[in-house]
Amino acid sequence: MIRLGKILSAHHVLNTRDYKQLVSFRCKNIFNIPNGVDSAYFKPAKKNENFDVLFMGRLVEGKGADLLPTIALKLVSKHIQIVVCGTGPLESLIKKCNMIKFLGFVDGHLKRELYAKSHVLIAPSRYETFMLTGLEAMASGTPVVTFDIPGPREYVVNGYNGFLVRSLDEMVEKVNKLYSLWKSGSQEYWEMCKNARKTAERFDWAVIIPKLEHMFHTVVKEHGNNQMQSH
């Protein structure tokens, strides 16, 4: 793996952890360019009247879907509802929990609507390279609560646009906190929604595509120079 990394012309990574790892391997031409989001497509809208906690993703252990029933049981109020969108092996587990509203597969239109109208996106993933769902939620003006792992660390800032947590109990605590802020009419919640949108705009494709183009131009130019030198 390390030997292969050293002979490749360039490396494209999506998070800082992977970038630092390749640097430690003394690889060359490492480009840390994140995924982008269409902030013209994902936009904020009026929130639902009841506090909705959204999960969007594959129903597998890697995405933390097995933790959703436990999270639902620990929420502070019966007025908080977890809405689960996705399919996968753990679907039957989710359906058994009567505190979860299971929607299964959702199309693009409904997905966009759910992002915008929900009050928080939870992402109990055990591993992510980037986690695009969090960025799509933020573009929709929705804060994100996720485990403190590579990927989400690239854009989630504690207390600014969401929370990075280190345990399941802390995840529940932060969701309950957001509910309390929203329920009390605190401006702090709405500021986080605005900050989420501001964060996503920094990852708009209009910003990311030029960086990708620069990467490709750099690699092609270097490859051409190396060919000329070899002749």
Provide the pLDDT confidence category of residue 2 given band limits of 50, 70 and 90. very low
**Averaged pLDDT for residues 122-137:** 97
More confident residue, 9 or 8: 9
Residue 6 reports pLDDT greater than 80: no
* Span 145-198, pLDDT tens digits: 999 999 999 999 999 999 999 999 999 999 999 999 999 999 999 999 999 999
pLDDT above 90 coverage of the chain, percent: 84
* In contact, 175 and 118? CB cutoff 8 Å: no
Provide the pLDDT confidence category of residue 5 given band limits of 50, 70 and 90. very low
Residue 8 reports pLDDT greater than 80: no
- Give the position of tokens 């709405």: 190
Provide the pLDDT confidence category of residue 3 given band limits of 50, 70 and 90. low
CB atoms within 10 A of CB 178: 23
DSSP string, 55-111: EES-SSGGGTGGGHHHHHHH-S-TTEEEEEE--STTHHHHHH-TTEEEEES--HHHH
* In contact, 160 and 192? CB cutoff 8 Å: yes
Range with the lowest mean pLDDT among 86-95, 130-139, 191-200, 213-222?
A: 213-222
Residue 74 reports pLDDT greater than 80: yes
User: What are the residues whose beta carbons fall under 8 Å from the beta carbon of 148, sequence distance 6 or more?
Assistant: 164, 165, 166
Indicate the pairing of strand 51-56 with strand 120-123: parallel
CATH numeric code, 51-201: 3.40.50.2000
Give domain limits for the chain: 1-33, 51-201
User: Which pLDDT score is estimated for 220?
Assistant: 84
Mean pLDDT of the chain: 93
Residue 108 reports pLDDT greater than 70: yes
C-alpha to C-alpha distance for 175 and 98, rounded to whole angstroms:
19
Provide the pLDDT confidence category of residue 1 given band limits of 50, 70 and 90. very low
Provide the pLDDT confidence category of residue 91 given band limits of 50, 70 and 90. very high
Provide the pLDDT confidence category of residue 7 given band limits of 50, 70 and 90. low
More confident residue, 5 or 14: 14
Distances (CA, A) of 172 to 3, 11, 76, 152, 206: 43, 37, 9, 18, 35
Q: Tokens for 180?
A: 């309390």
DSSP string, 151-180: TGGGT--BTTTEEEESSHHHHHHHHHHHHH
